[in-house]
Amino acid sequence: MKQNAIKYIFSAFLFFIFTSVSGNLCFGQSDPVRYLNPVFETIDIKQDIEFGEVINFRSKTEKLLLDVYSPVGDSLKNRPAILWIHGGGFRIGNDKSQGYIVKMASEFAKRGYVCLSIDYRVRNNPKDDKKGTLTDALEDAMTGLGWLRNNAEKLGIDKNKIIIGGGSAGGRIAVNLCYKDQTETKKWDKSGIVGLVDLWGSPDQSWRMFEVDKNDTPAIIVHGTEDQSVLFANSEQLIKELESSGVKYELVKIEGEGHTPTSHMDDFIVNISHFLYDLIK
Q: Tell me, what amino acid is at 6?
A: I
* Number of Cβ atoms within 10 Å of the Cβ of 217: 23
Beta strands in 134-246 (DSSP E): 157-167, 193-199, 219-224
pLDDT of residue 184: 75
The model's confidence at residue 3, banded by pLDDT at 50, 70 and 90, is: very low
pTM higher than 0.95 for the full model? no
For residue range 213-264, list pLDDT tens digits in order: 999 999 999 999 999 999 999 999 999 999 999 999 999 999 999 999 999 9
d(CA 274, CA 262): 19
Instruction: Write down the mean pLDDT value for the chain.
Output: 91
Which amino acid, 182?
Q
pLDDT tens digits along 192-222: 999 999 999 999 999 999 999 999 999 999 9
- CA-nearest of 214, 281, 211 to 249 is 214
pLDDT tens for residues 75-90? 999 999 999 999 999 9
pLDDT in tens, 90-119: 999 999 999 999 999 999 999 999 999 999
Tell me the per-residue pLDDT of 34-43, one tens digit each, with 9 for 90 and over.
999 999 999 9
Instruction: Dump pLDDT digits (tens) for 151-186.
Output: 999 999 999 999 999 999 999 999 999 999 988 788
The second-level CATH assignment, the architecture, of 40-280 is: 3-Layer(aba) Sandwich (3.40)
Alpha-carbon Rg for the chain, nearest whole angstrom, is 23
- Which residue(s) pair with 166 in the sheet? 85, 198
128 contacts: CB under 8 Å, gap ≥ 6:
none
pLDDT of residue 183: 82
